[in-house]
Amino acid sequence: MSNHIVSSQFIPVNVLSPAKKYIFWVFFLVLSLWQCQPDKNIPDVSDINIDLKIRRFEQDLFQLDPANLELPFAQQVEILRQKYPNFFVVFKHLIDDTNQADSLAVENIAAFIRHPSVRKLYDTTQIIYNNISDVESDLKKAFQYCKYYFPERPVPEIVSYISEYSVGTFTYGDSLLGIGWDFFLGENFPYHYDMFPAFLQRSMNRQHLVAKAMEAVAFDLVGEMTGNRLIDYMINNGKMLYVKSLLLPMAADSVLMEWRAKDVAWMKNSLNERELWSQILKRNLLYSTRRTEFDKLIGASPMGATWMPPESPGKTANWIGWQIVKAYMKQHPEMSVQQLIAIDDPQIILDGSSYRPPK
């Protein structure tokens, strides 16, 4: 493989005649509009009724008062537990991952809400997420699509919280979706670089919040994979991206992949996708179980594999897995997304997709 940077080729407009310039821009406009068209039919879900409201656990939590002499703190915590019975089980472990007795849980909660840095973090989240009507509206739309594709799946209780950077979003079965505001405070928030490198901070904002939440739902829907080969990761992650794109059909690929726009543009260059696929096959990585050989291809990383150009982002194999899954579904239009998810053998999807990188 050559070491030069692969980029899109174009004709400089300034060397064209006026007539050819006009033709060029018309062609460019048509091509751009064509490329922006979705490759799937987006269903009308406006008649699917969803009753959705984010329950703000963090606000109720920080209303507790350990100094209240009239109502013992343990009783205050018990009232909170009764109000959030499902979430409370999880929250105890978000702030302390030990299997602690209830008495210790009460002490840890008191220490948590008293801590100055946690208090400051809470105050910040309440400023940034004082009005969350846009978040609720976007979540409602996403769950309308979820109900369309997965009619038997209930709309979960959605609870917001802060955990001082324990978990950003999670599902607890199909009955609970948790959203941690402290993971979505934006590019101007002074996150610690050692904890969250710059390439992770790019998606820790309001624009990515709903996509992150629905990624947790997609992960729960697709389930754990059974193998540990690159093909297992690629197809399983491709399934999750496919489901995520169904739940968020208007989301940009950059949001779905948690990439920059230029990363998406690089990956959509057919030369780069072909080269990546060629290298995966040439290096016998597709069926490799040595995670160190392909970790940057499937995991978050500031750049891709060392044998690809430096412009290559991380998680590029997930992108190809997504394209394989989409190609498989195009080849099998009679198949439902539930049937897709139920396919355990990734080889079936790869073979049935007739995937070839675009030319």
- Segment 171-181, tens digit of pLDDT: 999 999 999 99
CA distances from 31 to 9, 25, 26, 27 (A): 15, 10, 8, 6
Q: Which residues of 232-270 are buried (b: 16+ CB within 10 A; e: fewer)?
A: bbbbbbbbbbbbbbbbbbebebbbbbbbeeebbbbbebe
Q: Quick count: other Cβ atoms within 10 Å of Cβ 324?
A: 24
Checking if the pLDDT of 79 tops 90, the result is yes
Q: Is residue 62 in a domain?
A: yes
pLDDT in tens, 249-297: 999 999 999 999 999 999 999 999 999 999 999 999 999 999 999 999 9
- Dihedral in degrees, nearest 10, Cα atoms 109, 110, 116, 118: 20
What confidence score (pLDDT) does residue 320 get?
Answer: 98
5 closest CA partner among 308, 336, 247, 330: 308
**What is the predicted pLDDT for the residue at 187?**
85
Backbone angles phi, psi at 301, to 5 degrees: -160, 150
Q: What is the pLDDT of residue 359?
A: 82
User: Confidence band (pLDDT; 50, 70, 90) for 102?
Assistant: low
The model's pLDDT over 183-194, given as tens digits with 9 standing for 90+, comes to 999 988 999 988
Considering the chain, what percentage of its residues have pLDDT values greater than 70? 87
Looking at residue 14, what is its pLDDT? 36
Predicted pLDDT at 101:
61
Q: Which residue has the higher pLDDT, 34 or 175?
A: 175
The closest of 216, 85, 88 to 143, measured between CA atoms, is 216
Q: Specify the pLDDT at position 112.
A: 96
Q: Which element (helix H / strand E) includes 55?
A: strand 54-56
Are residues 159 and 81 located together in one domain of the fold?
yes
- Reported as a pLDDT band with limits 50, 70 and 90, residue 41 is confident
Do 213 and 96 sit in the same domain of this protein? yes
pLDDT of residue 334: 96
Given a cut of 90, is residue 78 above it in pLDDT? yes
- Shared domain check, 284 and 179: no
Angle (nearest 5°) at CA 226 between 222 and 231? 85
Confidence of residue 27 (pLDDT cuts 50, 70, 90): very low
**Across residues 65-80, what is the average pLDDT?**
95
77 and 166 share one domain: yes
Asked, for residue 10, whether it belongs to a domain, the answer is no
> 10 Å Cβ neighbour count for 159?
22
Confirm whether 203 is domain-assigned.
yes
**331 shares a domain with 243:** yes
Are 237 and 188 part of one and the same domain?
no
Residue 5 clears pLDDT 50, i.e. is over it: no
- Residue 61 is predicted with a pLDDT of 98
Both 111 and 71 in one domain: the answer is yes
Residue 73 structural domain: 54-222
Q: What is the pLDDT of residue 28?
A: 40
At residue 23, does pLDDT exceed 60? Answer: no
The total number of structural domains that make up the chain = 2
> Over the chain, what is the mean pLDDT?
89
277 or 104, higher pLDDT: 277
Is residue 241 located within the same domain as residue 188?
Answer: no
* Region 156-162 average pLDDT: 98
Taking the model in full, what pTM does it have? Answer: 0.86
Whether residues 65 and 188 share a domain: the answer is yes
The answer on 82 and 204 residing in a single domain is yes
Residues 197 and 241 in one domain: no
Residue-wise pLDDT for 214-245, tens only, equals: 999 999 999 999 899 999 999 999 999 999 99
